[in-house]
C-alpha cells in the first residue's frame, strides 16, 4: 500500500514569553497551503507577559490548535511532550520567533518523500524591526556571525550536518529517543547527530525558508549566546572532536585575547623583555587582526547603510563572538550543569 501523498502533519512549538511574536507565528502555521490534515501543538511555559492568555484565546477559537503545558520551561522537554501528544506521522518543529512561508509544508513533505530523509531543514532568514535587531539579523545571515552553518545561506541541496527547526519522520526520531531532555541548548544539532549516527539521512533544502526574529537588545543577545556557547562546549565534552572547526574559532579568539592582555601587562611592567617578549608578543596578532576586521566593518561603505548601522553591526558581531566563545570555554572545561538561556526571562 502506497503512503499518502499528503500525510498528516503535526507542528510542535515551544512557547514562553512571546507576546510580541506568537500571533504571527501561529497565523503562519494555520495559513499553510497543504492538503493533508494538520494540527499545531503548543508546549506552553508559564509566561508572564500575556502569552498564555493569547495562546488560550487562539486554542479556544481554532480546533487545530492544542496546548500541552511545559512548567519546566525547557525546550527539549516541551518539544517531547508536544511530539508525544501529536497525532500525525510528520513532525514539523516551529519556534514562536519564526514565520513560515505559505508553501513551506507542501514543499517540505515533498522533499521528505523524495529523499527518504529522517530530518529535513531549510534556511533561516533573519529579519529585524529596529536598528539593533536588523544588525543582529544581518549577523545571523552572515558567515561572520555564526560561522557559516549551511542553513544560514547555502544554496546547495543535499545531506547536512543538522536541520534548522526540522521536518521529521516521527518513527525515526522516536527510534533514537526524541530530544535529549538533559540539554538546554543545541538540542537540534544533538538530535540530528544521533540520527546520522543511526544511519539516517539529514537533508538541507534551500527552497525552504523560515523568517526568524532574533533578540532585540544587547543583554538578551549576550545571554543567548553565552548559553548557546556553554551547551556547545558541553556537547564537545560528550562527543569530542566530531564538530566542525568553525565552532572552535570564537573560544580560540577569547583565549588569544586573554593571553594577549597578560603578555601586554608583563611587557609594560618590564617583567617580560628581550627575545621572550618578542616571541610571546606574537599572541597579540590574533586580537589585532580581529580589531582590524571590526574596523573594516565600520569604515567600509555598505549599500544603503549608515555609519550608525555599520557600527551597530560590528558591535553585534563582537558580542556574538565573545559571548559564544566565553560560554564555550566554560561548558567545555566545567560542563553545562544547569546553565539556561535567560534572554526570554529577563528584559
> Does pLDDT of 1 surpass 60?
no
pLDDT of residue 318: 95
Residues 79-92: tens digit of each pLDDT: 999 999 999 999 99
| Distance in angstroms (rounded) separating the CA atoms of residues 68 and 54 | 15
DSSP code per residue over 257-322: HHHHHHHHHHHHHTSS-HHHHHHHGGGGHHHHHHHHHHHHHHHS-BTTB-HHHHHHHHHHHHHHHH
Query: How many CB atoms sit inside 10 A of residue 23's CB?
Result: 16
User: Which pLDDT tens digit goes with each residue over 191-238?
Assistant: 999 999 999 999 999 999 988 889 889 999 999 999 989 988 888 888
pTM for the complete prediction?
A: 0.80
Domain boundaries, the chain: 9-215, 238-334
Average pLDDT estimate for 306-322: 94
The pLDDT of residue 144: 84
Count other Cβ atoms within 10 Å, centred on residue 131.
14
Which segment of 11-15, 71-75, 107-111, 309-313 scores lowest on mean pLDDT?
Answer: 71-75
Phi, psi angle pair for 309, to nearest 5°: -65, -45
Question: Assign residue 88 a region: left if phi > 0, alpha if psi is -120 to 50, beta otherwise?
Answer: beta
Is residue 147 over pLDDT 70?
Answer: no
**Cβ 210 vs Cβ 123: under 8 Å:** yes
- Contact assessment for residue 36 and residue 109, using Cβ atoms and an 8 Å cutoff: yes
For domain 9-215, give the CATH number: 3.90.550.10
Cα(188)–Cα(294) distance, integer angstroms: 31
pLDDT tens column, 127-140: 999 999 999 999 98
Helix (H) or strand (E) holding 102: none
Q: Is residue 326 over pLDDT 50? A: yes
The answer to whether 203 touches 119, Cβ cutoff 8 Å, is: yes
pLDDT band for 347, please (50, 70, 90 cuts).
very low
Q: How confident is the model at residue 339 (pLDDT cuts 50, 70, 90)?
A: confident
Identify which has the larger pLDDT, 323 or 300. Answer: 323
Amino acid at each position: 500500500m502506497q503512503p499518502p501523498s499528503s500525510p498528516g502533519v503535526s507542528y510542535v512549538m515551544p512557547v514562553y514569553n512571546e507576546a510580541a511574536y506568537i500571533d504571527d507565528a501561529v497565523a503562519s502555521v494555520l495559513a499553510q497551503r497543504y492538503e493533508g490534515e494538520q494540527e499545531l501543538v503548543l508546549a506552553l511555559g508559564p509566561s508572564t507577559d500575556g502569552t498564555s492568555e493569547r495562546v488560550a484565546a487562539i486554542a479556544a477559537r481554532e480546533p487545530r490548535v492544542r496546548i500541552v503545558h511545559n512548567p519546566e520551561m525547557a525546550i527539549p522537554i516541551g518539544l517531547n511532550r508536544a511530539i508525544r501528544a501529536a497525532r500525525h506521522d510528520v513532525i514539523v518543529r516551529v519556534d514562536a520567533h519564526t514565520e513560515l512561508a505559505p508553501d513551506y509544508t507542501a514543499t517540505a513533505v515533498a522533499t521528505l518523500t523524495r529523499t527518504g530523509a529522517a530530518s529535513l531543514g531549510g534556511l533561516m532568514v533573519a529579519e529585524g524591526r529596529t536598528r539593533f535587531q536588523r544588525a543582529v539579523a544581518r549577523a545571523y545571515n552572515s558567515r561572520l556571525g555564526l560561522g557559516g552553518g549551511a542553513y544560514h545561506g547555502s544554496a546547495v541541496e543535499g545531506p547536512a550536518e543538522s536541520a534548522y527547526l526540522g521536518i521529521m519522520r516521527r518513527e525515526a526520531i522516536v527510534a533514537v529517543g526524541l530530544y535529549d531532555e538533559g540539554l538546554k541548548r543545541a538540542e537540534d544539532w544533538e538530535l540530528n547527530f544521533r540520527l546520522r549516527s543511526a544511519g539516517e539521512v539529514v537533508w538541507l533544502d534551500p527552497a525552504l525558508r523560515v523568517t526568524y526574529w532574533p533578540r532585540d537588545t544587547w543583554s538578551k543577545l549576550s545571554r543567548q549566546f553565552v548559553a548557546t556557547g556553554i551547551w556547545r562546549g558541553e556537547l564537545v565534552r560528550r562527543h569530542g572532536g566530531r564538530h566542525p572547526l568553525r565552532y572552535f574559532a570564537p573560544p580560540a579568539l577569547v583565549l588569544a585575547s586573554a593571553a594577549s592582555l597578560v603578555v601586554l601587562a608583563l611587557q609594560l611592567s618590564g617583567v617580560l623583555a628581550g627575545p621572550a617578549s618578542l616571541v610571546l608578543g606574537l599572541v597579540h596578532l590574533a586580537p589585532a587582526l580581529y580589531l582590524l576586521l571590526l574596523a573594516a566593518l565600520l569604515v567600509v561603505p555598505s549599500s544603503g547603510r549608515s555609519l550608525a548601522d555599520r557600527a551597530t553591526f560590528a558591535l553585534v558581531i563582537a558580542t556574538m563572538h565573545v559571548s559564544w566563545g566565553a560560554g564555550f570555554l566554560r561548558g567545555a572545561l566545567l560542563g553545562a550543569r544547569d546553565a539556561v538561556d535567560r534572554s526570554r526571562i529577563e528584559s
